[in-house]
Structure formats: structure tokens, C-alpha cells
Amino acid sequence: MGSPVRVLAEATPVTRDRYVDLLRVASLGAVVLGHWMMAAVTPDGVGNLLAVVPALQPLTWLLQVMPVFFFVGGFAHALSYRSLLRKRPEGSADSVYAAFLRARLQRLLRPTMVFVLVWGLAALLIQLLGGGGGLTGVMLRLVTQPLWFIGIYLAMVAFTPPLLRLHERYGWGAFAGLAGAAAAVDVLRFAAGVPYVEFLNFAFVWLAVHQLGFLRADGRLGVGPGLATLRRPALLAGGGLITAVTLVAAGPYPLSMVGMPGEKVSNMAPPTLALLCHGLWLVGAVELLRAPASRLLARPRAWRTVVAANGVAMTAFLWHLTAMLGVYGAMLALDVPLPEPATDAWWAQTPLRLAVAAALTAVLVAAFRTFERPAPTAAVQGHGPLAALGATLTLLGVLGLSMVGFAGLLEGRTALLIAIPVSAPAAVAMTLCGWLLVERAGRTVTGARVGL
């Protein structure tokens, strides 16, 4: 009998779009590598390499690939929700929605909750013992920052049914409406100076990218034989790139497609129209590569590699900053010299740091990968409103935790989430309660008593 990865790879249906799986793994891998490379750690703290060497900022136009992940998410969510609708023709909209939320969020939230609880207990212990200063304090603050991505993804899953209905009715018009709303928000923000309006683009920009995944699921990004298949992706890539360059050159948008310390305007937080155009060019570019990549993935060894990576991708993403900061912490503890960022000595040391960070990430993945395996799901009726409440609580909790971190637990440190101060314990409680509600709602049998 073969390994689980080999068995799973060999059981892959011929109808599966393997390229989507590759894009999911590659986009998360690019984010991990980018975070490792951008960290400019010195004994005095953690900086950003792109701030030290501004000439490297154009690289973010290649390495800021979160739009690709959200685009792939839209594709997968459309297929998953439609599949549930076909399997449950007699089920109510509420029950299908609850089952959809649980199925899509289970593999995401189980490893996330383990990460949150492990780090929460570790942070509490460290601070009870009088620690939490220096690089340790920086680590307690930074390790939760990537959770913003989990929060945005939660929102995409939660809004999939209504947005999919809009897509099925209006097609490209639904995408255009979201993109137009993102543009209007930036006009109100930069031209009219309307306060707080920019935060609406956390929804409009990322949901517009998500909507492109729906279009791909219906074969509307590339249609027709031969070169005609490439026409629409080429227009997306070219139009998105030209518009993004124009906006950055002539408008108030910064060059970097990731947030930079000290900048008044960030393309990422909150997202801007420039980032949406950047997402368009990336989506078009990866679609242009679909045919050669699909031929590569037809090879058994290449496909097994993608299957293996997909099985641990979320766990690796959650723990990669822990590994990176752990490497720097060990170097400081062992009095290994930390060269000034971007110097020749720093660049010479980079391959070794990356190799050790990758090895430590592999150890953490081996320890926690079992939580990424989804539990068996029974075909039962669910409770839609309860699932929606759970998703909302989890989203707010995860976003709050990404902002406040675990530093200052004993001092009651807070961060503003939609103008409301949120502490780490409160964020953890919301995340845990929301996750349990999603699990409960997806399992509830309509008409049955809730047992103890």
C-alpha cells in the first residue's frame, strides 16, 4: 500500500483543476518567503528590508500575491457551494449555508485555533515569569499579524452565497460594481477627505478579486479555442498593470504593494484601487500560465508534490513567523553576530537563515499538521443564522487578534477594531466561541433536541 500522499494523488479525478491547487500552494509559499526576506532584525528590533532599501520595493509587484490566493478561493467556493446545492436539493437555504460554512472553514479554523491557543498560553506563561521584553516582546506582537488574512478569507466564505447569486445574474457586472465601489471609496478618501471611508475597501477590493474566481469557475476568464483563450487574461494582465502603474505614478498611492513603516498611505491596510489593479494584473498573468503549468501537473511526481504541500500549507503559513523569529532569537541568545540589514555580510548570511527557518517550520508543521486534516462531516441539516453568527464572531476575533497581538497581556493592552478597543483575551474568546458556533450549526439536525 502506498503513502497517503501517493494514494490521494492517484485518486485525483481527471476533472479536477490541478492548477488551482498549485496556485494556492505557490501563493502561500510566496508570502512566507516574502516575510522571511523582508524581516530586517537587529538587536534593537525588527525593521523592514524594503524601508532600508527602497529600490527593492518594485519586487512587491511580483511577490505580493495574496490577490491570487483570494482569486483561487472564489473559484473553490463557487464549486463547493454549487456542489452542496446539487447534493441537497431538498435542503433549506439555511441548512445548506451552515453546511457550506462548516465545510469551508473547518480546515482553516482548526489549525488556526490550535495556533491561537498554543501562543496564548505561551504568552501568558512568558509574561507571568517576567519575560516579554526585547525580541520576545516583538515576537508576541508580530506572530499574530498574518491572521488578518484568515479574517478576510472568513468574510469571503460567509458572503459567497449572495455574491454568487449576483455573479450568476450579472456576471462581469457584479465584479464591475465592486471595483467601481472601490474606486468611489478612494475618491471619497483622497479627493473629498471623508474620514474612515477607506475601511470599506477591506470588503470591496478583496471581494472584487474573489469575484474573479467565480468568473473563472464559469470559464469566463478564458474562452474560445487556441489563442482566443489567452485574449481575456492578456487584457486583464495588461490593463491591470498599466492602470496600477498610472495610479502610482500620478496619484497618492505608494510604490510598494505591501505596507511600509511610517507611510501615511498603504496600498494594503486598507486596500486601495491600486492594489485591486495589481490583483487584476496578477490574475491575468497566472491565467496566461495555465496551459504549460497544467501539462507539468499531469506528471505524477509534480502532482504528488502539490498534494503533499496542500496538506500542510495552512499550518506552515500560521507558524512561519514563529520559525523566523525563533531563528533570530536563537542567534541573539548564542551571540551570533547580526549584520546590519542589506550589507554584504547580511546578504551572505541570508541563505543560511532561510534554510534554518525552513527547517524549523518543517518541525512545527510535523508537530501540528494533524489539525489541518478535516474531521468527517455528516450529511445533516444545519442552522444558517447560528453559522452566520459564528462566522461573524470568528472574523472579528481573528482580526482583533491580528491587530493587538499577545504582548501586554497582563497590562490589558488593546487595539482598535472598528473604533472599539479589543484586548487579546477578548479576541481569543470571540474566535473560540465563533468557531464552536460554526461547528455546532453545521451539525445541528433540524427538529432534533440539542443534547448535552
What confidence score (pLDDT) does residue 262 get?
A: 77
User: In sequence order, what are the beta bridge partners of 415?
Assistant: 422
Boundaries of domain holding 247: 4-373+382-442
pLDDT in tens, 325-363: 999 988 888 888 888 889 999 999 999 999 999 999 999
What confidence score (pLDDT) does residue 229 get?
A: 67
Residue 242 inside a domain? The answer is: yes
What confidence score (pLDDT) does residue 162 get?
A: 93
Mean pLDDT computed over every residue of the chain: 87
Whether the link from the prior residue into 270 is cis, omega within 30° of 0, is: yes
Residue 180 inside a domain? The answer is: yes
User: In sequence order, what are the beta bridge partners of 47?
Assistant: 40
Asked whether the CA dihedral 381, 385, 391, 393 is positive or negative, the reply is negative
Amino acid at 322: T
Residue 449 inside a domain? The answer is: no
Cβ proximity of 222 and 232 under 8 Å: yes
Cβ proximity of 40 and 138 under 8 Å: no
Q: 234 vs 381, which has greater pLDDT?
A: 234
Residue 288 inside a domain? The answer is: yes
**Does the pLDDT at position 1 exceed 60?**
no
Q: What is the mean pLDDT of residues 225-230?
A: 58
What confidence score (pLDDT) does residue 263 get?
A: 83
Residue 200 inside a domain? The answer is: yes
DSSP 204-242: HHHHHHHHHHHHHHTT-SS-SSTTHHHHHHHHHHHHHHH
Q: How far is the C-alpha of 142 from the C-alpha of 125, rounded, in Å?
A: 17
**Does the pLDDT at position 423 exceed 50?**
yes
The candidate with the shortest Cα–Cα distance to 158, out of 448, 395, 339, 359, is 395
**Does the pLDDT at position 34 exceed 70?**
yes
DSSP 379-417: -----HHHHHHHHHHHHHHHHHHHHH-STTTTTT-EEEE
pLDDT band at 92 (very low <50, low <70, confident <90, very high): low
pTM of the model: 0.90
Residue 407 inside a domain? The answer is: yes
User: In sequence order, what are the beta bridge partners of 45?
Assistant: 42
- Set of cell numbers at residue 337: 553576530
In the chain, the number of structural domains is: 1
The candidate with the shortest Cα–Cα distance to 41, out of 244, 301, 328, is 328
Residue 48 inside a domain? The answer is: yes
Coil, strand or helix: which one is 42? strand
pLDDT band at 14 (very low <50, low <70, confident <90, very high): confident
Q: What is the mean pLDDT of residues 407-413?
A: 84
Q: How far is the C-alpha of 341 from the C-alpha of 368, rounded, in Å?
A: 32
**Does the pLDDT at position 7 exceed 90?**
no
The candidate with the shortest Cα–Cα distance to 82, out of 100, 70, 94, 68, is 100
